[in-house]
Amino acid sequence: MNKIYLIPIVLLFTLFNINSVAYADELNRSISVEAPYVRATIPGTNMTSAYMTIENNSQSEAILIGASSLVSDRIEIHQHTMSDGMMRMRKVEQLLIKEAEQVVLQPMGYHLMIFNVKKTLQPKDKVLVTLHFKQQKDIVVTIPVQSIKQEIQNKKQHHHH
């Protein structure tokens, strides 16, 4: 008789455990990505760049160590810096995002440089990019492709609000 009652109790515990794990995982969405976009490739070139805001909602720092995508075999974190009146771009090995802060990847600042683009990226295309972090899980982001013209229009709209 005890065996009959044992099965429903084990099932009940299993269901609660699965639900609590799924719920906990939802709460652990410690990194979020806002307003991502990739610049459309310019005819005759095979590189472009990606921009976004990466927000760290966790209680510990997050470290972006790279990115990957099927559209390219090489994506690097880069930073534009002004030095002696010259704009320079350099590769950065990692990008620290402090707890409860955000980092904006934008033109003339930090960005993802996408080399060896395998096909022309045109406005309305979407690119899947996986962001790799040191201690957190990878995040796959679906990023729309924008023309530079769209980029400028979006900036003007954001400044008027």
10-residue averages of pLDDT along the chain (161 residues):
47 41 47 96 94 94 96 96 88 96 95 96 96 93 91 68 45
Rg (Cα) of the chain, in Å, rounded? Answer: 21
- pLDDT at residue 26, rounded to an integer: 42
- pLDDT at residue 63, rounded to an integer: 96
Domains of the chain (ranges; CATH) run 27-160 (2.60.40.1890)
- pLDDT at residue 158, rounded to an integer: 61
- What's the DSSP call for residue 72? B
2, 98, 110, 133 from 69: Cα distances, Å: 55, 25, 18, 15
Contacts of 147 (CB under 8 A, 6+ apart): 39, 40, 123
- pLDDT at residue 159, rounded to an integer: 53
Q: Which two tokens stand for residue 118?
A: 């395998």
- pLDDT at residue 82, rounded to an integer: 84
CB-count exposure of residue 53 (10 Å: 0-12, 13-18, 19+): middle
Q: Which two tokens stand for residue 28?
A: 């652990």
**Other Cβ atoms within 10 Å of 120 Cβ, number:** 15
Look up the pTM and report it. 0.77
Q: Which two tokens stand for residue 95?
A: 């990008």
The C-alpha atoms of residue 93 and residue 104 are separated, in whole angstroms, by 17
